[in-house]
Amino acid sequence: MQSINDYKPRIILNEYNITQNLPSAPTVLDETFNIKKLKKIFRIVIVRYENMEMEFDVIGIHPFIANTFRRLMLSDVPSMAIEKVHIYNNTSIIQDEVLAHRLGLVPLKADPRLFQFKQDAEDNELDTLEFELKIKCIRSKDENKDSSRIDDIYKNSNVYSKQIKWVPKGNQLDSFKESDVGTVHDDILIAKLRPGHELDLKLLAVKGIGRDHAKFSPVATAFYRLLPDIRLTREVKGEAAERLQKCFSPGVIGLRHTKDGNKVAVVNNARYDSSSRNVFRYDDLKDAVIMTKVQDHFIFNIESVGALKPDVIFIEAVKTLKDKCLSLLSELEQI
């Protein structure tokens, strides 16, 4: 059995509390920051990349740096979102304020790196995207009197994000296509209409950051957790092994069949353990497991809303941190 006294700083999960295990040698938690040492131990490992979701490990950094990346992705990496809604006509049952709020939360494909932050009150092609939403609900001419389906009775009864149309400003048509700047998803339901209901709107999208409003955040979620580590202190066999397996998330503990036909518990993959500590319910098992979390190994999960890919969002967060540090150094030099 392996000892937990290795070179990694760890949090030990006990039954009612947690304790810390710090190796005798200095770690990233107690050393002064040294860029040369950081370069030697720092690593990023991509574990999973699927469409707009990415899971990756950041290894060898202090927790405050990991949390800085998380906060920057949520609140400082910019994106484009609808900021102003000019309502020329709204006879639906949705109030103007609620409708404008819903439209602001519709994610756009527009790459924020290609636009400037809005500086002036006047809109221009460098900082603003203009859209329009014009739709009117009418009774279907081909109405099937025997049908009770809304789509058979009314036309345009549902307003979807695909009905938001881009109106190019200036020379934007030379640089973009509607598929480059339009809505990420075509099937977002915005409103329900009935005959006599009509929407006539002009929408203006600008570049912003999540600390100003959540609609500008480029991620649906961005979080990290410490790498779990589970080690067995003794052999657990038979019915006890099956109980031990059920104490953890699926796939964490496996059962190995020995030559004499017994089942023996083994650690398959501690990575996805939820740290539930259910094992402490059993007096005969609580001493068989040591559960820890590695304090300088972070599992990041990023889910993009669709404008930027997850890896690009992380890189932009690093660039933002660099710019903030350079700005701070510049101000300190002037004091």
Domain extent listing, the chain: 10-76+221-233+288-299, 80-217
**pLDDT the model gives residue 147:** 72
Instruction: List 73's β-bridge partners, or say none.
Output: none
Task: Return d(Cα 175, Cα 165) in angstroms, integer.
Answer: 17
Element (H, E) at 319: helix 310-334
Task: Return d(Cα 121, Cα 136) in angstroms, integer.
Answer: 31
Query: Kind of pairing, strands 138-139 and 128-136?
Result: unpaired
pLDDT tens for 2-61 read: 455 567 888 899 999 988 876 666 676 766 677 787 788 889 999 999 989 999 999 988
21 compared with 85, residue with greater pLDDT: 85
Mean of pLDDT over the chain: 90
pLDDT tens for 98-143 read: 999 999 999 999 999 999 999 888 889 999 999 999 999 998 877 6
Contact 298, 61 (CB under 8 A): yes
CATH class of 80-217: mainly beta
- The alpha carbon of 153 is separated from its chain's Cα centroid by a whole number of angstroms, namely 40
SS (H, E, C) 79-108: EEEEEEEEEEEECCCCCHHHHHHHHHCCCE
CATH of domain 10-76+221-233+288-299: 3.30.1360.10
Whether 80-217 and 10-76+221-233+288-299 are alike in CATH topology: the answer is no
Pick the range with the lowest mean pLDDT from 3-12, 216-225, 231-240, 300-309: 3-12
**pLDDT the model gives residue 25:** 63
Element (H, E) at 174: helix 172-175
